[in-house]
Amino acid sequence: MKFYNRNEEIKILNNIKEDFRIAIIGRRRIGKTRLVEEFYKDKCINFFVSAEKAEKEIINGWVKEYADLHLPNIDNFKEFFEFVFSI
């Protein structure tokens, strides 16, 4: 997929310090994932995409994926993001 007219957003992301963690949210189908892919094209990143799953299913999948990290008990998105942004 081509990348169109998001230079201003890329500029904003470039101005954010590397030690900051960000979450990009917005309406469906506006190019959030493509923007992140383009910005991080030369870096290793993890994507967490719902794929029409319920909140609990998404969190359970993430916890299983990273079981070796000995994660705390995470039951909802609030706890999930609090943990992610605390590491």
Confidence (pTM): 0.50
Share of the chain above pLDDT 70, in %: 90
The per-residue pLDDT for 50 is 63
Chain segment 18-51, per-residue pLDDT in tens: 767 777 877 878 888 888 888 888 887 776 666 6
* Count of beta carbons in the 10 Å neighbourhood of residue 59: 19
Residues in the chain: 87
Tokens 């969190």: give the residue. Answer: 59
72, 83 in Cβ contact below 8 A?
Answer: yes
User: What phi, psi does 34 have (nearest 5°)?
Assistant: -65, -40
Query: pLDDT band for position 56 (50/70/90)?
Result: confident
At 32, list the tokens. Answer: 């959030």
Helices (H), 16-54: 32-39
Nearest by Cα to 56 from 73, 42, 71, 76: 76
The mean pLDDT of 51-69, rounded to a whole number, is 80
What are the boundaries of each domain within the chain? 1-47, 50-87
